[in-house]
Amino acid sequence: MKTVKNLIICSALLSLMSCAKYVSTNYCTTPENIWKLEKDMSLSQINATLGVEPYDIYINDQSHNKVLLYKYRLRTQDPSISNQSGTYDEGALRNQEELFLSRDEKNLYVVLDSKTNKMLQYITDAGRSDSFDVQVRAFYFKNVLPEVINKQVK
């Protein structure tokens, strides 16, 4: 009797699980989609452009702007692709169908205005790491270089 009862419960659970919707595990976008972002896009437009929902949402304490975190992966090629003879096939690497997403996830930060809920700007991890050098160069060109030029002219 217990066996029949357990069998009925297991079959009921299996039938319920078969009706469940599968959750997509594709939560990463690509740089190609990021380049399509434009200022003043709404959250729904951003999600449609990137093809994914935000991975996480933060609120900036000072400005109360929303910062949306998205994950993205770079497209790479497999250098081990070879043709039927087993030799390296350079033509296969040029074929767009051979591209695949890398395993390394990178971060994209999208800042939304707190009042209008429209995109103000976005930046990636790579942009954040490069921004210090850009700021130093901008300071140099704006403040130091004119003084050096003025001293040389006099």
Listed by start position, the domains of the chain span: 25-153
Return the pLDDT at 108.
94
Return the pLDDT at 46.
96
In a 3-state reduction of DSSP, which class is residue 69?
strand
Contact 101, 75 (CB under 8 A): yes
**Dihedral sign of CA atoms 36, 31, 100, 54 in order:** negative
* Tens of pLDDT, residue by residue, the chain (154 residues): 667 666 666 666 566 555 544 444 578 898 899 999 999 999 999 999 999 999 999 988 788 889 999 999 887 765 555 555 555 555 555 554 545 667 788 999 999 998 999 999 998 888 877 777 777 777 777 777 666 666 666 6
- The secondary structure element, H or E, covering residue 57 is strand 56-59
